[in-house]
Amino acid sequence: MVSILYDLALLQSIKSFNPAVLDTNNVDSHKYIYKKYKIDSLTFAQNHTYYASDIKVYEIIEKEVSKRIQQQRDSL
């Protein structure tokens, strides 16, 4: 779940910063994630609901996503 949320955060950042990049390359964020992780929208929603239902686990996931984003930013 960490990897999925990390990728979604990156895609959302790209979309916020320069939406034309995704549009020009015909990238639909959700379809990209579904294909990359071999899941569908229902599987994603169920997994997201499962992890979000336990706030302590979800906080750990969010901290790991933030950590990965920070590491990526620092490496640039």
Q: Per residue in 10-42, pLDDT tens?
A: 999 999 999 899 989 999 999 999 999 999 999
Q: Is the dihedral of CA 35, 41, 42, 46 positive or negative?
A: positive
pLDDT(62) > 90: yes
Residues 6+ apart with CB under 8 A from 25: none
Query: What is the pLDDT, as a whole number, of residue 19?
Result: 84
When divided into structural domains, the chain yields a total of 1
pTM equals 0.87
Angle at 63 between CA 60 and CA 66, to 5 degrees: 155
On average, the pLDDT of the chain sits at 94
**Structural domain for 50, as ranges:** 2-75
Q: Assess contact for 62 and 52: CB atoms under 8 A.
A: no
Tokens coding 7: 């990728």
